[in-house]
Amino acid sequence: MKFSTYLEQIMGVSIYPIISLLLFVVFFVLTTLWVYSIDKKTLEEIEKLPMED
Amino acid sequence: MDKFYYDNRIARMFAFACITWGVVGMLLGVIAAFQLAFPALNFSEYFPHLAFGRLRPVHTNAVIFAFVGNGIFTAVYYAIPRLLKTPMWSKALGRIHFWGWQTIIVLAAVTLLSGFTTGKEYAELEWPIDILITLIWVIFGINMFGTILTRRERHLYVAIWFFIASWVTVAMLHIVNSLEIPVTLFKSYSMYAGVQDALVQWWYGHNAVAFFLTTPYLGLMYYFLPKAAERPVYSYRLSIVHFWSLIFLYIWAGPHHLLYTALPEWAQSLGTVFSIMLILPSWGGMLNGLFTLRGAWDKVRADPVLKFFVVAVTCYGMSTFEGPMLSLKNVNAISHYSDWTIAHVHIGALGWNGFLTFGMMYWLIPKLFKTQLYSRPLAATHFWIGTLGIILYAIPMYWSAFRTYFMLSSFTPEGQLQYQFMDVVQTVIPFYILRAIGGTIYLCGVFVMIYNLVKTAQSGEFVAEEEAQAAPLAKNYVAPAGSIWHSFIERKPILLLVLSLIVVGLGGIIELIPTFLIKQNVPTIASVKPYTPLELQGRDIYVREGCYNCHSQMIRPFRYEVTRYGEYSKAGEFVYDHPFQWGSKRTGPDLARIGGKYGDSWHFNHMLDPTSMAPGSIMPSYPSLFENSIDKVTTRSKIHAMRQLGVPYPDGYEAIADQDLDKQAKSITDKLKTENKIEIASDKEIIALIAYLQRLGKDIKAEAPKLSNQ
């Protein structure tokens, strides 16, 4: 039940923040592209949903 | 066309619970605030259960999980059926959810005041309640997904996305952070120790703010703000970008609570970078909210609901700008452990959560009772009282934080610390008083609201079942050509759930796993040894009394801290700390190296009457520690549990642990008797607490005591 000491050390740990940053940038760009691919009619339909009742 | 009925009863139940617990939670906050200024209000001699260390967790838990929690459920049970054009999937599950959640709240209050706590902030509840929370949360999830899967509206509006992501992330956070080994019915030890426990805790703590106080309330904003403004959200596209980038980034930011601590450097940097990036989606969301009111600002002047919403969204913007700033290391050096953090969270809690909730109630209660709000001017009065309360709360706390920092970090030309810690305590008391007054004013505003809402309810008639009609979903639906996006996720709630989990899971995995697996991240210090049985009992008393609410055990590597408290803390010093007790606020001084700084008699007298040893102290006294006996029945199971967690007690040590405990206790009482003429039985709790305090921070000086069999 002890969590540490399975590995002695972690090689090139400085790459971790870079990997995470890249992951996010790619994710963000894809999301943005995806969002702009929505056709306007669908969008208008959805954004009016709270007004319907 | 199908005809069906929305159940307004459940929304009303949650709304009432939200307001009721809101009053309780805020009142406890006001009492705790006054206790800091006037320690006599701890009433230690009569009610040891109401001391600040026990009351403050009840306040935070009540406001987060009872007030905001019931606020979330009010919104979910009102908005989801209407957005999906179907009643909630199961009335019975809704009732179980409601009563289950209220039971948890009552159990939480009772157990926390009784001293049953895990000692991890905002996750203090002990293991049986943790299990109950999990069950009720699953029931809530089943009801929500049942509703989503039986909907009559193909599209899932963005508010529902926020609710789904909140549900799945809170489930993940709660389970991972609550992993603990039960020792007795109401006592457990965290599965993790020291640095690892700290990382998991703040990964949880930060995201409790993110996924309990923020994302579900964003769902609330995206539903109620357009309704109150009577126009759709400014940009639906922006709301989607807001959603995905927010949930992606939030989960990484936890380590910013541990800057300059013994947490590995790379994890701290990761936390900072992602915290800075959080400004973008947060402000995207804030602007989306404010721009929704474009061309409707004249309405804001007249409609109290919109007034509350505007200030709430503005406070969201302020908090989410301040948060990233606080995660810059140089700013954090000033803010951490200080009242700045308290000001920051209250801009969020009072401004964002509080005002959004009030706005929702002023809109919702007239709807539920099919009438008009009793008095708009009274609501406007509440708005101004509340705003004044927030200002009067926050400004003294900011002031106090800077004052504290400048005083604690100043040196005389000779290189001595210029001020004692007590000088700082004395100088911030007036700010504590002002803050308590600010909180009281804010609470008065809530009473004005309650009067107004009661009058509103009386003037109308409750609509228990609201009739609605909608066509069922067509079975063989074909998405319009070119709408890849639409068919991909918009209509697939389970896929949305899974994707959300992946997105929030990523951050957790990359941050947590290396800290768990790699030895280098927690360098071993050979002289750090497990606590003796007496110290372990003393540590549990320390946790029980909530000492961590005011005292840190983590010295940062600054000259002004090292000079004041001693050698800065190392990751390897905490490997046997289940749970870690680094704390997050220094109302009192750091205790990481308190061991050996004063004699046993100093601690003895200090616990009996803090001002006798430290004139001007605002710490409560703990007379009950001198009457209660150490609970030796538990020693055996405590040692056993600790060994299971990897603490290297010798085999069979359980059987003889109490002998060691008695021996060490006797040596302390003997010393008190011979050196200080203090007579006390050696089975009293105070002896265990003294033993623990005297051990703190000594191990790296290689003064750790030996256990039998070693």
Residue B541 shares a structural domain with residue B405: no
Q: Rounded to an integer, what distance in angstroms lies between the CA atom of residue B554 and that of residue A45? A: 54
Residue B279 near residue B233 (C-beta atoms within 8 A): no
- Assess whether B364 and B459 both reside in one domain: yes
From CA B526, how far away is CA B475, in angstroms rounded? 68
In a domain, B206, yes or no: no
Distance CA B282, CA B288 (A): 10
Is residue B467 domain-shared with residue B544, that is, in the same domain?
no
User: Residues B5, B76, B240, B318: what is their CA dihedral angle, to the nearest 10 degrees?
Assistant: 140
pLDDT for the residue A7: 54
Domain annotation covers residue B358: yes
Tokens of B116: 């049953």
Domain closes at, from B435, B451, B473 = B473
Three-class SS string for B215-238? Answer: HHHHHHHHHHHHHHHCCCCCCHHH
Residues of chain B with C-beta less than 8 angstroms from the C-beta of A41: 480
Chain A residues in contact with B483 (beta carbon < 8 A): 38-39, 42
Q: Best interface-test mutation with A: which of B203, B519, B574 has the largest number of A CBs within 10 A?
A: B519
Which of A30, A47, A48, A51 to mutate: most B Cβ within 10 Å? A47
Inform me whether the C-beta atom of residue B519 falls under 8 Å from chain A C-beta atoms: yes
pLDDT of residue A3: 46
HEC per residue, B622-682: CHHHHCCECCHHHHHHHHHHHHHCCCCCCCCHHHHHHHHHHHHHHHHHHHHHHHHCCCCCC
> Which among B149, B670, B71, B161 is positioned nearest to B358, based on CA atoms?
B71
Nearest to A31 among B159, B245, B519 (CB): B245
> Could you tell me if B541 and B462 lie in one domain?
no
CB atoms within 10 A of CB B299: 16
Quick check: helix, strand or coil at residue B5? strand
Confidence band (pLDDT; 50, 70, 90) for A4?
very low
CA distance B50 to B114: 9
Considering the domain architecture, whether residues B675 and B561 belong to the same structural domain is answered as: yes
Closest CA to B365 of B4, B1, B8: B8
Does the distance separating the beta carbons of A46 and B82 come in below 8 Å?
A: no
> What tokens appear for B440 in the block?
């009281």
Interface of B with A in 109-168 (CB under 8 A): 153, 155, 157-159
CA dist., res. B247 & res. B499, Å (int): 11
Mark whether B461 and B556 lie in a shared domain: no
The answer for residues whose C-beta is within 8 angstroms of residue B497's C-beta and 6 or more apart is B145, B164, B168
The residue behind tokens 């400048």 is B406
What pLDDT score was predicted for residue B497? 87
454-473 in B: which are within 8 Å (CB) of A?
A: 468
Q: What is the residue type of B384?
A: W
Domain-embedded: residue B268:
no
Whole-angstrom distance, CA of residue B307 vs CA of residue B323: 24
Based on C-alpha coordinates, what's the Rg of chain B? 26
Look at residues B336, B352, B428 and name the one whose alpha carbon lies nearest to residue B390: B352
Residue B492, token pair as written in the block: 């697939």
Mutation pick from B238, B484, B516 vs chain A, by most beta carbons of A within 10 Å, is B516
B316 touches chain A (CB under 8 A): no
- Is residue B58 situated within a structural domain? no
Nearest CA in chain B to A25: B245
Q: How many angstroms separate the CA atoms of B315 and B333, rounded? A: 24
Do B644 and A13 lie within an 8 Å CB cutoff? no
Furthest CA-CA distance within chain A: 61
Which residues of chain A have a CB within 8 Å of the CB of B480? 39, 41-42
| Residue B552 within a domain | yes
Contact call for A2 and B248, based on CB within 8 A: no
Query: What is the full DSSP assignment across B373-414?
Result: -S-HHHHHHHHHHHHHHHHHHHHHHHHHHHHHHHHHT-B-TT
Q: Which residues of B406-424 are buried (b: 16+ CB within 10 A; e: fewer)?
A: ebbbeeeeeeebebebeeb
Chain A: nearest CA to B470, how far in angstroms? 10
Domain membership flag for residue B213 = no
- Give the pLDDT of residue A45: 86
Shared domain for B601 and B455, answered yes or no, is: no
The domain that holds B451 is classified in CATH as 1.20.210.10
Look at A31 and B519 and tell me if their CB atoms are within 8 Å.
no
Task: Examine the domain organization and report whether B308 and B423 are in the same domain.
Answer: yes
* CATH code assigned at B689: 1.10.760.10
Q: Residues B589, B591, B593, CA angle at the centre, nearest 5°?
A: 125
Residues 475-504 of B with CB under 8 A from A: 480, 482-486, 490, 503
Cβ(B616)–Cβ(B426) below 8 Å: yes
3-state DSSP helix/strand/coil percent for chain B, to nearest 5? 70, 5, 30
Residue A1's pLDDT is 39
Residue A17 reports pLDDT greater than 60: yes
CB contact under 8 A, A38 and B486: yes
Q: How far apart are CA B635 and CA B656, in angstroms?
A: 10
Query: In terms of domains, do B302 and B392 share one?
Result: yes
- The tally of domains found in chain B comes to 2
Listing DSSP states for B587-611 in one string gives SS---TT-TTTS-HHHHHHHHH-HH
As a whole number of angstroms, the distance between CA B558 and CA B561 comes to 5
- Nearest-CA neighbor of B310 among B383, B230, B393? B383
> In this structure, how many other beta carbons lie within 10 angstroms of the beta carbon of residue B27?
16
Task: Look up residue B337 and give its DSSP letter.
Answer: B
Claim to verify: residue B440 and residue B304 sit in the same structural domain = yes
What is the span of the domain harbouring residue B369? 293-473
Distance from CA of A1 to the nearest CA of B (A): 5
B436 lies in the same domain as B556? no
Min Cα–Cα distance to chain B from A6, Å: 5
List per-block mean pLDDT (blocks of 10 residues) for chain B, which spans 710 residues. Answer: 95 98 98 96 90 96 98 98 96 98 98 96 96 98 95 91 95 93 94 90 92 96 96 94 92 87 81 91 95 91 96 97 95 95 97 98 97 97 98 97 96 96 96 98 98 97 94 76 60 83 83 69 80 97 96 96 94 92 96 95 96 95 96 95 93 94 97 95 96 94 60
Answer whether B683's CB lies under 8 Å from B630's CB.
yes
Mapped onto helix, strand or coil, the DSSP state of residue B154 is coil
CA-to-CA distance for B217 and B282, rounded, in angstroms?
A: 13
Domain final residue pick, B450, B473, B496: B473
**What pTM does this model have?**
0.94
C-alpha torsion B395→B396→B397→B401, nearest 10: 110
Contact status of B575 with chain A (Cβ, < 8 Å) = yes
Phi, psi of B597 (to 5 degrees): -70, -40
Contact B191 A1 (CB under 8 A): yes
Instruction: Report which of B131, B135, B112, B4 is spatially closest to residue B50, judged by C-alpha positions.
Output: B112
What is the b/e burial string over B301-333, where b = at least 16 CB atoms within 10 angstroms of the residue's CB? Answer: eebbbbbbbbbbbbbbbbbbebbbebbeeeebb
Same domain, B555 and B464: no
In single-letter form, the type of residue at position B642 comes to M
Nearest-CA neighbor of A50 among B509, B566, B180, B226? B226
Last residue of a domain, one of B473, B490, B525: B473
Please answer yes or no on whether B233 and A47 come within 8 Å at the CB atom. yes
Does B410 map to a domain?
yes
Given this model, what pLDDT does residue B504 score? Answer: 86
CA distance B608 to chain A (A): 39
